[in-house]
Amino acid sequence: DTGVSQNPRHKITKRGQNVTFRCDPISEHNRLYWYRQTLGQGPEFLTYFQNEAQLEKSRLLSDRFSAERPKGSFSTLEIQRTEQGDSAMYLCASSLPTLTPYYGYTFGSGTRLTVV
């Protein structure tokens, strides 16, 4: 395993188009998180999966956003009818279950979305 992989690294899209991002976590990590980071700010939590179950969604995740994690492996984040305010870095992270000595999260390099 080489870490958390996110594709694409960059995406430029026209306002109103749909986009989909993919995250491949570390294989033994059953937890997966999506964050959004706007320029000059810290990442903000969007949603969280344990295996294939989506256990929490932030209020930031409007109806235009949907995330899936079929079979508890990779995850996709789709944004429908993109708006300029969606321009941000979308970060994916994965982690082991709780009660491990190391409560570490491994982040991917992110997908930078620009809506024009």
Partner 1 sequence: AQKITQTQPGMFVQEKEAVTLDCTYDTSDQSYGLFWYKQPSSGEMIFLIYQGSYDEQNATEGRYSLNFQKARKSANLVISASQLGDSAMYFCAMREGDGSYGKLTFGQGTILTVHP
Residues 6+ away with beta carbon under 8 Å from 26: 1, 3, 4, 94, 106
Nearest to 54 by CA among 43, 65, 74, 68: 68
Site for partner 1 in 1-30 (CB under 8 A): none
81 burial type by CB count under 10 A (0-12 exposed, 13-18 middle, 19+ buried)? exposed
Range 41-80, binding partner 1 (CB under 8 A): 41-45, 48, 55-56
Q: Among the candidate windows 16-24, 38-46, 67-75, 77-85, which touches partner 1 by CB under 8 A?
A: 38-46
Tell the smallest beta-carbon distance from residue 111 to partner 1 (Å): 10
Interface ranges with partner 1 (CB under 8 A): 31, 33, 35, 40-45, 48, 55-56, 89, 91, 93, 95, 98-99, 102-110, 112
